[in-house]
Chains A and B, each alone.
Chain A
Amino acid sequence: MRGIVVRRAYSALVALARGIEQWSLVILMIVLWELGVRFAWIDGNLFPPPSKIFQALIDLAKLGLLWKDIVASVWRVVIGFLIATVCAVSLATLLARWRRLARYVMPIIEIIRPISVIAWIPIAILWFGLGDKPAWFIIFLGSFFPIFTNTYLGIRSVEPIHVQAAQCFGAGRLLFVRKVLLPSALPYILAGMRVGLGVGWMCVIAAELIAATSGLGYMIQTARVLIETEKVLAGMITIGVIGLAMNHLMLLLERKLTPWSHHAV
């Protein structure tokens, strides 16, 4: 028993050391930045030192403001992203299997796709006013295309041999879609969802800069107006950290949902 505990503690220590080693360049840059401001090599008003940014983060967290903004932003992304996932997966599956319909619908998708989501913000405000709705709409647009494109590719890439096997066993349409088509495309769909969530997270900030009265995007915009540079940077770092966490969550989900495409049973 004690042997196991010691070994676990040791490997945890090794993992920690590895983590520190990987982040060593980041740590070095932070230290140089801090020193640079202290010795007045850099302008502390434009580049507030890490200590000040950290202090701003703590203050915001203490007031409960940071948490409120995070929840507002994340919640918007979750809703927009889920709607996008449902729509993109069903439409892509339909079009990938029904080529004649795809012939007519694809041009519409291809002309909407290159329009930057930023360009949609004015019309979103006109349509939906300020608040959650324009944000959902913008996030939906941003997430939709990566998920759609990947799902379409995934459904198109189903192995002919698997289709033949299903036909051979006399599988009905529902069983075929549920047990063959979708699982076969699932790795593609999940990769698309991971990218889509990332894009959605970028979109929510863009939408909140202009079309909302809460959330991290709104927070950094307000801080900009009050020239609280350290708050702007604190908000940006929060955005980065949450984006990173979301990506890891999706990777975890991928591993959980597609156990057949990974090692170890």
Chain B
Amino acid sequence: MGDILVRNVSKTFEGGALHSKVVAVDNVSCEIAQGEFLCIIGPSGCGKTTLLHMLAGFTGPSSGEVVSDGKVVTQPGPERIVMFQEYGLFPWMTVAENIEFGLEAKGLPREERRSLVAHYVNLVGLTGFENRYPRHISGGMKQRVSIARALAPDPQAILMDEPFAALDSLTRDVMQEEILSIWGATKKTFVLITHNIDEAIFLGDRVLVMTHRPGRIKEMLKIELPRPRDASIRSSDRQFLQYREHLANSLRKEVRSFVDEESNAGHRG
């Protein structure tokens, strides 16, 4: 139970110029098991975010369907919480209030909300910062608030859209390790979009590689690195390096096609 099924999902956008149609996602099918950590990787503009938004229910597929926990997804809901690229925290709420929001939406009584907030503040190591506003904390801390806010309502799945893109590389490494330990502790389904190969291998049970426009599944790579994974495997583990080599080759062609299209567009413009 709690699996997410993606069945022959396509998404077409009506383009502006000459009423052209842009196929963002083309006939994607996959199964995401309850408790799995799936990473989706692909070049910019390959429809990763569109796919994630369809998993969340923000936008419906043009054809095909997304089924979550046995029900067709038609709208967003608290079973599948999205962590947005720039965190999407409410700047007018303090750290604690941000985390409390999802609990309030769930209709939990105040006492229960308070104790859950305290629990998740502690889990992500933000004790002492409860009453700060997001603009007064660092990027890494905002990321932690975003994680705590997503976890608090106890969803089945957490969908992350390039969560570490705005972080410096040192903070990024630390946050990857923290996400991994939180995932291990909560046993929720994590779907994470990235364009960072190391990140995808380090975190994922499987890595879904997408092609550049239209976004199709190029391959689904199973990552058979033992867990719990230590931070050091990123630089020393032989198998890790083989996965990296493989994915780099797989992606190079897609990125090439993306760059060509960009430069063509540049010449035309």
Contact = CB atoms under 8 A, between A and B. Distances in A.
Contact of A169 (B78, B132, B135): B78
B136 interface: yes
Contacts, number: 71
B84 to A, nearest CB: 5
Contacts of A183: 90, 92-93
Interface string A147-164: 000000000000001101
Contacts of B104: 171, 175, 179
Contacts of A261: 91, 135
A72 interface: no
A169 B81 contact: yes
A255 to B, nearest CB: 14
B105 A164 contact: no
A3 interface: no
B78 A168 contact: yes
Contacts of A164: 58, 76, 82, 84, 88
B198 to A, nearest CB: 27
A259 B94 CA distance: 10
From A164, A168, A179, residue with most partner B Cβ within 10 Å: A168
B106 interface: yes
B191 to A, nearest CB: 14
Interface residues of A, number: 22
Main secondary structure of the interface of A (DSSP, over half): helix
A260 B94 CA distance: 8
Contacts of B133: 259-260, 265
A167 B105 CA distance: 10
A19 interface: no
B105 A169 contact: yes
Contacts of B93: 179, 183, 260
B95 to A, nearest CB: 11
Contact of A162 (B77, B82, B88, B132): B88
A172 B105 contact: yes
B43 interface: no
A168 B76 contact: yes
Contact of A170 (B58, B78, B84, B91): B78
Interface of B: 56, 58, 75-78, 80-82, 84, 86, 88, 90-93, 101-102, 104-106, 131-136, 153
Q: 4 closest pairs, A vs B, by CB? A: A183-B92, A169-B102, A171-B105, A170-B78
30 contacts: A161-B84, A161-B86, A162-B88, A164-B58, A164-B76, A164-B82, A164-B84, A165-B90, A166-B105, A167-B58, A167-B75, A168-B81, A168-B82, A169-B101, A169-B102, A170-B77, A170-B105, A171-B105, A172-B105, A179-B104, A180-B90, A183-B92, A258-B92, A259-B133, A260-B91, A260-B93, A260-B134, A261-B135, A265-B132, A265-B133
